[in-house]
């Protein structure tokens, strides 16, 4: 395995595990419920968004489906960025980094 392939595999695993962990935290956190309420969105938004992230991250971690999972994560992150910006929450830096990492892994041929 080349150094590039090893690096991308490591990046894929780190991103996938972090996204799953943070998605679970998002689903169970009372802070998420307050944030969603402030945005004027229904509470059902929390498990839908968190579940979509977890589903995409699990696919991303499975070698056979990693490209599909990566592009799904990219879509989820782009949606989250737009949602935050539309609600005047501009602290989207981590989402941008996650999206870049998902794109790098999904578009790689390594």
Q: Which of 18, 19, 39, 17 is nearest to 86 (CA)?
A: 39
Measured CA to CA, the distance from residue 105 to residue 110 in angstroms comes to 9
pLDDT in tens, 13-29: 999 999 999 999 999 99
Q: Hey, what are 62's tokens?
A: 């499975």
pLDDT in tens, 66-89: 999 999 999 999 999 999 999 998
- The overall pTM is greater than 0.85: yes
């Amino acid at each position: 395995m080349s150094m590039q392939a090893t690096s991308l595999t490591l990046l894929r695993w780190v991103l996938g595990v972090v996204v799953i962990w943070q998605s679970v935290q998002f689903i169970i956190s009372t802070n998420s419920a307050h944030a969603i309420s402030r945005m004027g969105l229904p509470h059902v938004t929390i498990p839908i968004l968190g579940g979509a992230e977890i589903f995409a991250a699990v696919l991303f971690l499975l070698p056979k489906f990693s490209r599909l999972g990566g592009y799904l994560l990219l879509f989820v992150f782009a949606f989250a960025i737009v949602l935050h910006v539309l609600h005047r929450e501009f602290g989207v830096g981590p989402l941008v980094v996650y999206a870049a990492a998902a794109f790098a892994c999904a578009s790689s041929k390594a």
